Structure 1
Amino acid sequence: MPGINPDQGTNNLGAGCTSHETNLGVQKVVKTVKRLRPKAKIVLLGLLPRALRSSTGSLELATNIFSRRLIEVNQGMKILAKEDSNNILYIDAWDIFNGSASSSKVSAIPRSLMPDFLHPSAEGHRLWGERIKQAVDNVLSRDSQPQ
């Protein structure tokens, strides 16, 4: 879609942006898409955990500066999706890469799913893709039901 840059997320945080600035970027993209395509369904993919420069993949808030910021951005996207749940879908995959069912609980990233603790492996992409497909299929099924 011309006129928008939908790349908002983990790279913003890595470049020094705050979680607030990153959430403002996400909001701007959503607002622009809604203006250009008012009937569009918008999918927001939650940011994945990252533990760059970690030897263990630890996501402990005390040692991983990104964990808190990532969680804050994801919370912002969840709120945005709740405000317009008919048109915005938020998909959280933190638990796949965190080894925990909750994005607020921290542990460590399995090396098998994210070898450098930043980029998903083939298996990580497969699991992430399954999560996305399942969520999108659920919304499409819901939206195709007679009212």
Structure 2
Amino acid sequence: MGLLSTKRAAQSTPLLIVLPVLTIWFHKYCKNRYEPAFVRYPLQEAMMKDTLERAREPNLDLKSYLSNAYIHPVFKGEDIDDSYSVEDDKSYDNSLVPTKRHSRRNTPVPSKYHESSPPSLSEVVHEQP
């Protein structure tokens, strides 16, 4: 603020006082907006979704799809039909795919799906030689 006063920009100095307040507000907004996505869908669930997607469409080359996801209209050489819809695709199968369930057996927290609680970490350590 002192530097702006020496540069004869004293009119903008009061606006700089608002910047930390706006920064804190923006941080809280982003935290409330985007953090729940990582809390609701942890890595294990994201991996399960990826596994289901690979099982439904094993020939999907995501890297080539994303490399052409956006091309500026000036650089497009051919017309690409972007009106693809899953509802129009007759080969789309909306069925469940059986997958292996990976659970940690040494967690001390009981499962919400099974009534028997898994062994605690200390029990597992004592059982191993």
Given the two structures, how large is their TM-score scaled by the length of structure 1? 0.17
Q: Which has the higher strand share?
A: 1
Q: Answer with 1 or 2: which has the greater Rg.
A: 2
